[in-house]
Amino acid sequence: MLRDIDRILVDEHEIKEICIRIAKEITEDYKSSDKRLVLICILKGSVVFTAELMKHLCLPVEIEFMKVSSYGSQTCSSGMINIHLDIKREDLSDADFIVIEDIIDSGRTLNHLVNYLAERGANSVKTCTLLDKPSRRCVDFTPDYCGREIPDEFVVGFGLDYNEKYRNLPFVGVLKREVYETK
Ligand code: IMP
Ligand code: MG
Indicate which atom in ligand 1 lies nearest the CA of residue 136: 3
Whole-model pTM?
0.95
For ligand 1, is residue 102 a contact (CB within 6 Å)?
yes
Q: pLDDT at residue 49 above 80?
A: yes
- What pLDDT, in 10s, does the model give residues 102-127? 999 999 999 999 999 999 999 999 99
Q: By the 8 A CB rule, do 104 and 141 touch?
A: yes
Q: What spacing in Å lies between the alpha carbon of 33 and ligand 1's midpoint?
A: 31
Percent of the chain exceeding pLDDT 70 equals 95
For ligand 1, is residue 129 a contact (CB within 6 Å)?
no
**Side-by-side strand order, sheet with 5-10:** 5-10, 172-175, 155-156
Dist. CA 13–CA 147, nearest whole Å: 13
- Residue whose Cα lies nearest atom 8 of ligand 1: it is 105
- What pLDDT, in 10s, does the model give residues 88-103? 999 999 999 999 999 9
| 105 belongs to the catalytic site | yes
For ligand 1, is residue 70 a contact (CB within 6 Å)?
yes
